[in-house]
């Protein structure tokens, strides 16, 4: 801000000061203080503070752990060691990195749009933290409030704000690579949001079909958007048997009714869209390091760069968390529901910790797939990326919604399990069909691209002249029959 701008702020701050003084003068000191104090010690506010700190801490810790895990897993897949020398087995590498990043100079580029440059990392990072509001970590550890009831909508809204941060960074950096990266990411993140939401729709349809049926919670025909309740839908297919060990294991943990079994194709598509949303390989075009140096992050350094980095890894975490809630039963695992139902403080605590453990295991298992994919796949091209979203993913998700609805009406007279079994069969067939479709599409596009070569081959023989030897050096050795040279 210019010195002139600071001067302009003076009357405003003076005005605010006068307002506060007037407020205090009008009431008593005690009244003002107690008001403040009541606001702070209110249960909701404290819960919010604790939850925010927990989530923030979780994201930061998770990001550092993921960075290290990524380096170690990549190293393992690539037949090398990875970080070794910082701490035992290189475990402190992330700590050292963060320390370095904190100490680094925060360089501001000349000619940049400074406000954009400075605020972009915050705009990128904040929605990532905010989206965790919908995530229950265990039966008790979750944020109170209405965000939970509209969970998925809130999550989608937050993940769309991300893109604004990226565009701000791309524009504000005054760098051509950044600009291209920012624009690419705008196109990419907006396009992939649609199939992502459509993948959600099928899950929400499933809950509204199941709601109110025998053995499932909820009111007849009314589904849910809240991850917590979606998780309950997946884990309520167990009736009390009275056999202790079975009850302990399967109460609130029924992997045979997880939505991944009924909608595997949607999990696949959601995961692909999640890759694109988080700008991870093979969809890392916005920061394509071999083309755009570092894309929208090119001009950032120090902690601002680290915020983008943390945001990316936080995004990875939340995509995995949502996937685990929607398709893999969330925090459910053996013992969780049984122990929390004991109504004792100790067992309730143990149950919650178990739930947290299962949840984190599921998140990191999905994150490991992210890393595995990064080690394996090459990057897509921008137009192929768009083509894939609009011509493959969108139709497939739309057809899936249609098929789910048609199957529901076709089997509405029959018991629920018939519908579920048919849906599962159709969807698993859909997975293989999807793989076939992708392969077919790839083949046809590459054939199309190879058309000039194929045409040239068809008219090749007379067109390409045989190469004459340049002088009389005895050239060709006798080759065994059938080798490549003797065909020519």
Partner 1 sequence: MATNQDTEFQAEFSGTSEGIKTQEMLLNMGPQHPSTHGVLRLIITLEGETITSCTPVIGYLHRGIEKILENRTVMAGIRYMDNSDYLSPMLNETAYAGAVEQEMGIEIPRRAQYIRLITNELQRIASHLVGIGTYGMDLGTTTPIIWAFRDREGILSMFEALSGSRFNVNYMRVGGVLHDLPKGWLDECSTFLDKLEKNMVEMDGLLSGNEIFMSRTQGVGYIDPQQALAYGLTGPMLRASGINWDLRVNRPYMAYREVAVNPIVRQEGDCFARYYVRLQEITESIRLVREGIDKLPGGPISVRTPIALRPPRGETYFAIESSKGELGVYFISDGSEYPWRAKLRGPSFVNLQIVPELLRGHKMSDAIAILGSTDIVLGEVDR
Contact indicator for 70, 316 with CB cutoff of 8 Å: no
Complex with partner 1: residue 106 or 289, whichever CB lies closer: 289
66 binds partner 1 (CB under 8 A): no
**Among the residue ranges 61-69, 70-78, 119-127, 305-313, the one whose residues contact partner 1 (CB under 8 A):** 70-78
**Residue 460 near partner 1 by CB under 8 A:** yes
Which of 32, 47, 19, 169 has its CA nearest to residue 109?
169
Q: How far is the CB of 480 from partner 1 (least distance, A)?
A: 7
CA atoms within 13 A on the CB side of 473: 5
- Which DSSP category does 333 fall into? -
Q: For residue 468, what is the DSSP state?
A: P
Q: Which residues contact 440 (CB under 8 A, 6 or more apart)?
A: none
174 binds partner 1 (CB under 8 A): no
Asked whether position 488 contacts partner 1 by CB under 8 A, the answer is: yes
CB-nearer residue toward partner 1: 343 or 448: 448
CA dist 451 → 157, 458, 460 (Å): 43, 11, 14
For residues 282 and 334, which CB has a smaller minimum distance to partner 1 in the complex?
282
The least CB distance from residue 412 to partner 1, in Å, is 39
CA distance 86 to 94: 9
Range in contact with partner 1 (rule: CB under 8 A) among 86-94, 101-109, 287-295, 391-399: 287-295
Among 289, 395, 412, 425, binds partner 1 (CB under 8 A): 289
Q: What 8-state DSSP symbol labels residue 390?
A: I
Distance of closest approach, residue 145 Cβ to partner 1, in angstroms: 41
Establish if 469 lies at the interface with partner 1 (CB under 8 A). yes
The span from the CA of 20 to the CA of 17, in Å, is 5
Which of 5, 110, 242, 452 touches partner 1 (CB under 8 A)? 452
In the shown chain, the binding pattern of residues 254 to 283 toward partner 1, with x for contact by CB under 8 A and - for none, equals ---------------------------xx-
Q: Which two tokens stand for residue 288?
A: 């394509």
Cα–Cα–Cα angle for 85, 90, 96, rounded to 5 degrees: 85
For residues 86 and 384, which CB has a smaller minimum distance to partner 1 in the complex?
384
Closer by beta carbon to partner 1, 373 or else 401:
373
Structure tokens at 100: 């370095």
The contact pattern for partner 1, residues 11-40, with x = CB under 8 A and - = no contact, is: ------------------------------
Among 193, 229, 277, 284, binds partner 1 (CB under 8 A): 284
Reduced to 3 states, what is the DSSP secondary structure of residue 2?
A: coil
> For the residues of 153-218, what is the DSSP string, one character each?
HHHHHHHHHHHHHHHHHHHHTT-HHHHHHHHHHHHHHHHHHHHHHHHHHHHHHHHHHHTTSTT--S
Number of shown-chain residues binding partner 1 (CB under 8 A)? 61
Which residues, numbered 371-400, are part of the site for partner 1 (CB under 8 A)?
374-384
Tokens encoding 297:
């992050």
Distance CA 197, CA 105 (A): 40
Tell me whether residue 271 or residue 359 sits nearer to partner 1 (CB atom): 271
Q: What is the dihedral of CA 139, 143, 149, 150, to 10 degrees?
A: -130
Name which of 290, 266, 275 is nearest 320 in CA terms: 275
Q: How far is the CB of 283 from partner 1 (least distance, A)?
A: 10
User: Using the rule CB under 8 A, is 240 a contact of partner 1?
Assistant: no
Q: Which of 219, 241, 412, 450 binds partner 1 (CB under 8 A)?
A: 450
Q: Is 437 in the site for partner 1 (CB under 8 A)?
A: no
Give the interface with partner 1 as residue ranges (CB under 8 A).
74, 77-80, 176-177, 180, 184, 281-282, 284-285, 288-291, 293, 374-384, 438-439, 442, 445-453, 456-457, 460, 463-465, 467, 469-470, 473, 475-480, 483-485, 488
């Amino acid at each position: 801000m210019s010195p002139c701008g600071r001067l302009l702020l003076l009357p405003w701050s003076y005005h605010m000061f006068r307002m506060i003084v007037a407020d205090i003068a009008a009431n008593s000191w005690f009244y003002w203080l107690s008001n403040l104090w009541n606001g702070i010690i209110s249960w909701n506010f404290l819960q919010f503070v604790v939850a925010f700190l927990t989530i923030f801490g979780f994201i930061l810790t998770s990001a550092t752990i993921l960075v290290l895990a990524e380096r170690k897993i990549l190293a393992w897949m690539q037949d090398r060691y990875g970080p070794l020398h910082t701490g035992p087995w290189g475990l402190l590498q992330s700590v050292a990195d963060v320390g370095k990043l904190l100490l680094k100079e925060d360089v501001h580029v000349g000619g940049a749009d400074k406000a954009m440059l400075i605020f972009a990392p915050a705009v990128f990072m904040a929605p990532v933290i905010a989206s965790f509001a919908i995530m229950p970590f265990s039966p008790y550890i979750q944020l109170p409030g209405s965000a939970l009831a509209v969970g998925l909508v809130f999550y989608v809204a937050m993940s769309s704000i991300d893109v604004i941060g990226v565009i701000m960074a791309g524009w504000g950096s005054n760098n051509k690579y950044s600009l291209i990266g920012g624009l690419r990411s705008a196109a990419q993140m907006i396009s992939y949001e649609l199939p992502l939401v459509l993948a959600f729709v099928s899950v929400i349809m499933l809950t509204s079909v199941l709601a109110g049926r025998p053995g499932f919670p909820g009111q007849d025909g009314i589904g849910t958007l809240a991850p917590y309740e979606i998780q309950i839908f997946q884990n309520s297919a167990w009736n009390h048997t009275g056999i202790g060990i079975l009850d302990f294991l399967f109460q609130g943990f029924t992997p045979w009714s997880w939505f991944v079994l009924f909608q595997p194709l949607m999990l696949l598509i959601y995961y692909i869209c999640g890759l694109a949303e988080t700008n991870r390989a093979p969809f890392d075009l916005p920061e394509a390091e071999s083309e755009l140096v570092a894309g929208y992050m090119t001009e950032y350094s120090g902690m601002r760069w680290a915020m983008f980095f943390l945001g990316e890894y936080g995004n990875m975490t939340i995509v995995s968390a949502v996937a685990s809630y929607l398709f893999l039963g969330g925090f459910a695992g053996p013992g969780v529901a049984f122990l929390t139902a004991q109504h004792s403080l100790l067992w309730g605590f143990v149950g919650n910790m178990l739930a947290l453990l299962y949840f984190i295991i599921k998140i990191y298992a999905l994150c490991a797939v992210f890393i595995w994919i990064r080690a394996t796949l090459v990057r897509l091209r921008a137009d192929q990326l768009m083509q894939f979203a609009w011509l493959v993913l969108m139709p497939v998700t739309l057809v899936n919604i249609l098929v789910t609805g048609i199957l529901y009406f076709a089997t509405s007279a029959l018991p629920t399990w018939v519908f579920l079994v048919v849906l599962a069969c159709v969807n698993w067939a859909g997975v293989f069909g999807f793989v076939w479709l992708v392969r077919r599409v790839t083949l046809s596009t590459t054939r199309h691209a190879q058309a000039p070569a194929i045409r040239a081959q068809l008219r090749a023989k007379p067109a390409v002249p045989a190469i004459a030897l340049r002088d009389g050096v005895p050239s060709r050795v006798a080759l065994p029959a059938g080798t490549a040279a003797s065909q020519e």
